[in-house]
């Protein structure tokens, strides 16, 4: 049940960011940046990141449980799916940072 | 698909715009990440649209399902209507704001 409640943070972060995009689009960039520097918003974002990672991790584990990959006589374990998907998450995150921020 | 996007793409967006920028952490210590992402034109705009729209869909869909499971089953149809309305308006708004910022998005790079 905790896993389902974490989707609240996913939805609210998306709505806050859509509002920030509206400020960017209307030329009020300073207001958008001031919003993201608000201590309450920062605290919410820290919680949102933790809950999003929890939501993702439990999903990775469930994938391994529901759809184990069969290799010969053995089948993959849920923790192996969790590990592989966490590595994939780190690679994708670094690729996004490298392509869209650092380049 | 929304779950896939929320799991693999949303964490890095939350970190960049919501934590690293306001706290001055790597890799955005000297500038705001939204501008940096949108300055990559097509791929940056596409990344923001897919991440925000997919996460909004997933978050609201899962949350309204949860509300019906914890005793609000009688209001299921109303919750679904409100949820889908928020999803449609949110996705359209995201597309409109991104196109306002990058009006030449559909032109060839």
CATH code, domain carrying A24: 1.20.1300.10
Write the ipTM. 0.94
Chain B neighbors of A100, CB-CB under 8 A: 36-37, 40, 43-44, 47
Residues of the domain holding A22: 2-102
3-state secondary structure of A3: helix
Q: Where are the domains of chain B?
A: 2-101
Domains in chain A, number: 1
Q: Is B33 on the interface with A (CB under 8 A)?
A: yes
* Contact assessment for residue B34 and residue B17, using Cβ atoms and an 8 Å cutoff: yes
- Cα B18 to the chain's mean position, in Å? 13
The C-alpha atoms of residue A98 and residue B16 are separated, in whole angstroms, by 12
Give percent of chain A above pLDDT 90: 82
Question: pLDDT digits over A32-78, tens only?
Answer: 999 999 999 999 999 999 999 999 999 999 999 998 988 888 899 99
- For B11, phi then psi, to 5°, come to -55, -40
Chain B neighbors of A84, CB-CB under 8 A: none
The C-alpha atoms of residue A28 and residue A48 are separated, in whole angstroms, by 25
């Amino acid at each position: 049940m905790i896993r389902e409640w974490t989707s609240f943070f996913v939805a609210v972060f998306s709505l806050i960011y859509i509002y920030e995009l509206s400020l960017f689009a209307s030329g009020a960039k300073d207001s958008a940046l001031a919003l993201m520097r608000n201590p309450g918003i920062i605290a919410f974002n820290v919680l949102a990141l933790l809950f999003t990672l929890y939501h993702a991790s439990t999903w990775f584990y469930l994938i391994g449980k529901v759809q184990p990959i069969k290799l010969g006589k053995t089948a993959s374990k849920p923790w192996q799916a969790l590990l592989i998907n966490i590595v994939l998450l780190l690679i994708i995150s670094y690729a996004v940072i490298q392509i869209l921020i650092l380049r | 698909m929304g779950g896939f996007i929320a799991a693999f793409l949303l964490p890095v967006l939350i970190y960049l715009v919501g934590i690293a920028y306001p706290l001055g952490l790597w890799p955005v210590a000297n500038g705001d990440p939204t501008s940096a992402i949108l300055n990559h034109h097509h791929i940056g705009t596409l990344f923001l649209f897919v991440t925000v729209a997919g996460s909004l869909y997933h978050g609201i869909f899962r949350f309204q399902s949860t509300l019906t499971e914890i005793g609000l089953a009688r209001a299921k149809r109303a919750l679904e209507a409100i949820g889908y309305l928020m999803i449609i308006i949110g996705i359209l708004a995201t597309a409109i704001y991104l196109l306002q910022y990058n009006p030449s998005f559909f032109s060839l790079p």
